[in-house]
Structure 1
Amino acid sequence: MYKKSTQNYYRLYSRSKKECKNCPDFSACATDLGTVRINASAYYPSFYRNGKKVGTSDYLRVMRLRKIWAEGTFAVLKREHKLNKIQKRGLQKATEECLLSATALNLKRLVKTV
């Protein structure tokens, strides 16, 4: 069963107290009449799968490419487009400011190559 929390969706499991009695995390779970509710993030399966990839050759290759492309771009945006501090208020306007800065950077790169 998926429930809406303050930020994300989470999964809600129900088990009997007998099954959870010896669990070390039992005190952190919510208990009702004879059942235990366990809250789990809906993103945990993806998080777990990605965690298993850490240290593999594919992971290291992707991280090296990320350093080259993404981190360099963020550094340029922060240095030359004043994105170290967002000037606008609100999530939508801040997103707009970031997209406009990224568009400006891409246009500069396009002009430079042509």
Structure 2
Amino acid sequence: MLNSGLFWEYWAEKKDCGSCPLRQKCLNETDKAGARKLQDSYFKTAVQQHFFRQWESEYREALKQRQIWCEGTFAAQKWGHNLTRLLRRGLEAAEDHCLLSAAALNVKRMIRCLN
């Protein structure tokens, strides 16, 4: 078993798979290891919840709102406020840059509403 923190891999032994009566159903012809490998993600439950909720009307509406508000804001900050690359180092400097960018975006919106 391999654990990277984000996913777990489970490997069967080649000798166990060699004598298994279900080998033909379980393995592909392209399996080079000759043994079963399973991967389990840390995010599996969240992905399943997302998959089951994606057809709900509330979820679709929230997705539309996110595409309008968040993604547009991120794009504006990335291209208009030089957030593709930070020129200063450190988390505090990055946080300052992002907060100033958000403040500038809000000021632009307020000016647009006043006109």
Q: TM-score, normalised by structure 2?
A: 0.58
Q: Distance in 2 between matches of 1:40 and 1:86?
A: 34
Q: What one-letter code is carried by the residue in structure 2 that aligns with 1:82? A: N
Q: Distance in 2 between matches of 1:57 and 1:28?
A: 44
Q: Give the unaligned 5+ runs of structure 2.
A: none
- Report which of the two has the higher share of strand: 1
Q: Which residue of 2 aligns with 1:9?
A: 6
Q: Which residue of 1 aligns with 2:56?
A: 56
The answer to whether the aligner puts 1:45 opposite 2:6 as a matched pair is no
Q: Distance in 2 between matches of 1:38 and 1:47?
A: 17
How much has 1:66 moved relative to structure 2? 0.6
Tell me the SS of whatever aligns to 1:88: coil
Larger radius of gyration: 2
How much has 1:2 moved relative to structure 2? 7.3
Higher relative contact order (CA 8 A, sep 6+): 2
Stretches of 4+ aligned residues off by more than 4 angstroms = 89-95, 109-114
Identity of paired residues, percent? 27
Deviation per CA, 1:63-97, whole angstroms, max 9, x where unpaired? 111122102212331343123x3133778478533
Q: Which residue of 2 aligns with 1:88?
A: 87
Tell me the SS of whatever aligns to 1:66: helix
CA-based RMSD of the aligned residues comes to 3.9
Q: Which residue of 2 aligns with 1:69?
A: 69
The answer to whether the aligner puts 1:23 opposite 2:20 as a matched pair is no
Q: Distance in 1 between matches of 2:60 and 2:94?
A: 30
| Equivalent residues, number | 105
Q: Which residue of 2 aligns with 1:78?
A: 78
